[in-house]
């Protein structure tokens, strides 16, 4: 632990400001609360929103897990983990069940989250209406008036053009029947995990200076139409080539030499844990 810095990097004033915004965010599910968004030692757009939430929450007894698109070992995840553990001395882990704070970029872990955990999602674009309304004061007005026809129209246009909703990630959701919210660019596969989640979910956008939240046991519905229902990505008949798991989010990989397509778990720690469970029987 580097004692040249404050505990959890921030001065107490910065923490207080983020903490006040976070409490308001929890009280108004799905509403984007503006906050000051401090300069961080990593670039804006590299997870500063999530990092600021993590630093404002973390205490000596926490166990931290950071993932970047399902991986515990990618550069972004490793560096954020290093920064937090250098300035706090807290333990880090790859195991989802052991973590009390999970900061994540673009995935919700496969292992269901529990009551004593907080999931912190990094958000690049917190405004779900930005695609068709560039003005912040206008989108604030649309949220105030619960005027979301544009959000549905956006999906309708996709259906007209391509025959189905083409949101690969960041499919907008309606939270507590009030706010349309960007769930951060998690795959559609993860959207249902937000509904009535056991863990508190906090979302932070550092560059856009917004924090918002989905409290536990809150209604989260992905936007869709009666005749074009919301559909998560389907991995029917496919399984992970390493651990054999089915019913999880899989990455499609193509071997350019043989042109062979195979699938692998996106959540690396889940894949390793499954492999370790199976292995003793296989090796004997």
Partner 1 sequence: MTLDIVHDLQSVYRKLVDSTSRPGLISDLRKEAALVEEEDQKGCSASLLLLALTLFDQEVSFKVFSKQADSVSKTINQLTYAKPTEAKKADFLLILQDAEKGSLEEAIINAKAGTLKNPHTSAFIFVEVESVTNGEALLLKGPGIHSTELVHLDINENWVESRQEKNKEYPLGIDMIFIDQHHQLLSLPRTTQISRNRVMG
Where on the chain is the footprint of partner 1 (CB under 8 A)? 6-8, 12-13, 15-17, 19-29, 31, 33-34, 56-60, 118, 140-141, 143-145, 176, 178-179, 200, 213, 215-219
Token digits for 82?
């290093």
**30 is annotated as an active-site residue:** yes
Q: Which of 43, 240, 257, 282 is catalytic?
A: 240
Q: Residue 274 and residue 284: Cα distance in Å, rounded?
A: 17
Helix intervals (H) in the chain: 12-27, 48-57, 75-88, 136-144, 149-162, 191-194, 268-283
Q: Residue 221 and residue 52: Cα distance in Å, rounded?
A: 27
**265 is annotated as an active-site residue:** yes
**282 is annotated as an active-site residue:** no
Nearer to partner 1 (CB atom), residue 29 or residue 187: 29
Least Cβ distance, residue 53 to partner 1 (angstroms): 11
Q: Which of 50, 204, 265, 282 is catalytic?
A: 265
Nearer to partner 1 (CB atom), residue 29 or residue 128: 29
Q: Residue 5 and residue 10: Cα distance in Å, rounded?
A: 8
Least Cβ distance, residue 150 to partner 1 (angstroms): 17
Q: Residue 170 and residue 150: Cα distance in Å, rounded?
A: 16
Nearer to partner 1 (CB atom), residue 20 or residue 241: 20
Token digits for 273?
């844990």
**243 is annotated as an active-site residue:** yes
Nearer to partner 1 (CB atom), residue 40 or residue 175: 175
**168 is annotated as an active-site residue:** no
The packing angle between helices 48-57 and 75-88, to 10°, is 30
Least Cβ distance, residue 4 to partner 1 (angstroms): 15
Q: Which of 30, 47, 50, 204 is catalytic?
A: 30
Residue 92, classed as helix, strand or coil, is: strand
Q: Residue 116 and residue 122: Cα distance in Å, rounded?
A: 20
Which residues are 205's β-sheet partners? 210
Nearer to partner 1 (CB atom), residue 6 or residue 97: 6
Q: Which of 13, 243, 247, 257 is catalytic?
A: 243
Phi and psi of 222, rounded to 5°?
Answer: -70, 135
Least Cβ distance, residue 41 to partner 1 (angstroms): 19
Q: Which of 47, 244, 271, 282 is catalytic?
A: 271
Q: Residue 262 and residue 14: Cα distance in Å, rounded?
A: 47
Least Cβ distance, residue 183 to partner 1 (angstroms): 16
> Could you give the residue numbers annotated as active site?
30, 240, 243, 265, 271
């Amino acid at each position: 632990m580097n004692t040249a810095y404050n505990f959890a990097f921030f001065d107490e004033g910065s923490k207080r400001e983020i903490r006040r915004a976070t409490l308001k965010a929890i009280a108004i599910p799905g509403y984007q609360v503006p906050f000051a968004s401090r300069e961080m030692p990593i670039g804006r757009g590299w997870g500063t929103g999530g990092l600021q939430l993590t630093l404002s929450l973390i205490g000596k007894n926490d166990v931290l897990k950071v993932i970047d698109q399902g991986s515990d070992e990618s550069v972004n995840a490793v560096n954020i983990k290093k920064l937090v553990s250098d300035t706090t001395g807290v333990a880090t882990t790859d195991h989802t069940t052991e973590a009390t704070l999970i900061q994540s970029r673009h995935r919700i872990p496969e292992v269901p989250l529990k009551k004593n955990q907080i999931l912190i999602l990094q958000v690049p674009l917190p405004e779900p209406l930005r695609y068709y309304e560039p003005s912040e004061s206008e989108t604030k007005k649309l949220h105030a008036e619960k005027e979301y026809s544009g959000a549905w129209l956006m999906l309708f246009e996709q259906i007209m053009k391509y025959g189905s909703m083409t949101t690969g990630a960041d499919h907008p959701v309606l939270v507590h029947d009030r706010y349309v919210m960007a769930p951060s660019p998690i795959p559609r596969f993860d959207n249902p995990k937000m509904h009535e989640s056991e863990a508190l979910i906090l979302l932070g956008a550092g560059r856009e200076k917004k924090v918002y939240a989905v409290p536990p046991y809150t209604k989260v519905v992905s936007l869709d139409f009666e005749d074009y229902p919301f559909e998560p990505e389907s991995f029917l008949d496919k399984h992970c080539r390493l651990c054999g798991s089915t019913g999880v989010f899989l990455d499609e990989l193509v071997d350019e030499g043989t042109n062979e397509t195979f699938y692998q778990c996106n959540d690396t720690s889940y894949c390793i844990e499954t492999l370790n469970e199976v292995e003793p029987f296989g090796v004997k």
